Each structure stands twice: as C-alpha cells, then as structure tokens.
Amino acid sequence: MKKLSKKYEIKKGKVVSINISEHKGVSKKSVNSCLINNLGFNGDAHSGKWHRQVSLLSKESINKMRKKGFNISSGSFAENITTEGIDLFKIPIGNRLKIGNDVILEISQKGKVCPRPCSIYYKIGDCIMPKEGIFAKVIKPGKVKAGDIIAVEE
C-alpha cells in the first residue's frame, strides 16, 4: 500500500447511500443496506471477478453537479456507495477503506475512461464518475448500511 501524503489528512467519512442495479450503464437504486460478497454487492451488475467490484463517489462531487443545475441524487452516476466527508480521489491506489464493523475494500482504480458516452451521460448530460469516482475490490465481505463510518487504513 502507498503511504498517504502528508498533505492528506486521514479522515473518517460516512456512507450516505448504497446503490445497486441489475444492469450495467444505468443509474442505480438506493437501498438501506446490502451484503457485499467476495465479488461485490449482492444483486449488482458490476460484481464479478475483476478489480472494479465496488464503485464509490462522494456526495460532495454530486453536489458540484447539482450546482450546475443537474437534477440528480445518489446512484445517478451508477456508484455503489455514495460517501460524505472523505476526499476519495486523494486516497492512493492500494490503500484500504474499512466500512462499518466488517467490510474492507482496497482502492484499485481512480476514475475511468468511457469508450463512448454512456446512457448516464445521455440521460443527465454529463458524468462525473470518470473524473472523481473511484473503484475498489473486496478484501473482506460483510454488510454495509447507510450511516456506516468509513475509515482510511494505511
């Protein structure tokens, strides 16, 4: 794991929303809680044997889009976990997030390249996931619920 830079103050944040969908490329629906298995969220189209099992986006990023006039909510950008109070994009790849009492995720990718504008882009008019979203693989499964604390582990 990479060390966090001295400029990055380790913070704790919280889970605002858990979002899942049965299909890729669409906005996700919020649920109060969900189990994460070794492949990602139960019932989510993005779970599987790859490095992007769970996607995260901050409420602060979503609020930037709201200020531009977009009518959006948690899950609009197909993120699995909407967070608050933690600057996700500053966390180095390889660092881990502990969520609640059990779940541990390892940051595996920052942002993404969309080969073509996705359905979210066409529906909303822009997509922030490529610029501010992060992805993780599951290290330790468990249950995640809205309100859970997220802590960065080195």
pLDDT tens track for 12-25: 999 999 999 998 87
* Predicted pLDDT at 115: 61
Every domain of the chain and the residues it spans: 12-153
Residues in the chain: 154
CA angle, corner 39, sides to 119 and 146, nearest 5?
70
Bigger pLDDT: 100 or 1?
A: 100
Q: Is the pLDDT of residue 10 over 70?
A: no
Q: Is the pLDDT of residue 130 over 80?
A: no
Q: Is the pLDDT of residue 4 over 80?
A: no
The model's pLDDT over 55-85, given as tens digits with 9 standing for 90+, comes to: 999 999 999 888 888 888 898 888 999 999 9
* Predicted pLDDT at 77: 84
* Predicted pLDDT at 69: 83
118 Cβ contact partners less than 8 Å away, ≥ 6 residues apart: 25, 127
* Predicted pLDDT at 150: 97
Distance CA 79, CA 17 (A): 9
| Domain 12-153 bears CATH identifier 3.30.1370.10 | no
